[in-house]
């Protein structure tokens, strides 16, 4: 499944939100804080949130490619198959961007028959809706952050300063 969308945020704003989410997921799963420079090729294990941290579905995650602010490609591997997701951003020259989104699920075991094809169609419809909602949410977060920075320029300075230990 794939789609292309024109967005009215920059690739940097889009990838800032992706990065925060990915780094938060890694920290939740591993307890480690990972820098942008270490995201490309990073692998970790986590559990889905469905049943809590220890009882959800086991997932192996591999960030296949991360190049800020151009591409984020990740593979989620489950016992039933794997899901590859790619976000590819291109500046549009007018302060926005064009997003190319692709998602592909591969079953661990071959699935055959009419029922399987119907299930695949239903899955694709649900995935498209979820992906579009996710992109819409990322855009909203980026715009909210943009407004917050415009209202308080000190936020930019705080982000640029290294963390200082509390006294």
For residue range 94-145, what is the model confidence (pLDDT) as tens digits?
999 999 999 998 877 776 777 777 877 788 889 999 999 999 999 999 999 9
Q: What residue has token string 């989410």?
A: 21
Distance from the Cα of residue 127 to its chain's centroid? 14
Domains and CATH numbers, the chain: 2-160 (3.30.530.20)
pLDDT of residue 118: 80
Distance CA 12, CA 48 (A): 28
Assess whether pLDDT exceeds 60 at residue 161: no
Task: Determine the pLDDT at residue 167.
Answer: 39
Q: Taking the model in full, what pTM does it have?
A: 0.85
pLDDT digit string, tens, across residues 31-45: 999 999 999 999 999
Could you give the CA distance from residue 149 to residue 155 in angstroms, rounded to a whole number? 6
Rounded Cα distance, 91 and 72, in Å:
15
- pLDDT at position 165: 46
CB 62 within 8 A of CB 77: yes
């Amino acid at each position: 499944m794939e789609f292309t969308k024109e967005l009215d945020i920059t690739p940097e704003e889009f990838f800032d939100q992706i990065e925060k989410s990915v780094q938060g997921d890694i920290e939740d799963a591993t307890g480690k804080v990972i820098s942008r420079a270490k995201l490309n090729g990073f692998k970790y294990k986590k559990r889905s949130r469905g049943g809590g941290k220890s009882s959800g579905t086991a997932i192996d995650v591999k960030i296949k490619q991360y190049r800020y602010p151009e591409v984020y490609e990740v593979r989620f591997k489950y016992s039933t198959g794997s899901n590859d997701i790619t976000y590819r951003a291109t500046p549009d020259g007018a302060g926005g961007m064009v997003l190319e989104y692709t998602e592909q699920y591969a079953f661990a075991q071959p699935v055959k028959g009419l029922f399987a094809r119907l299930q695949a169609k239903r899955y694709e419809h649900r995935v498209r809706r979820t992906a579009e909602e996710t992109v819409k949410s990322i855009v909203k977060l980026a715009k909210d952050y943009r407004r917050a920075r415009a209202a308080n320029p000190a936020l930019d300075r705080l982000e640029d300063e290294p963390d200082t230990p509390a006294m």
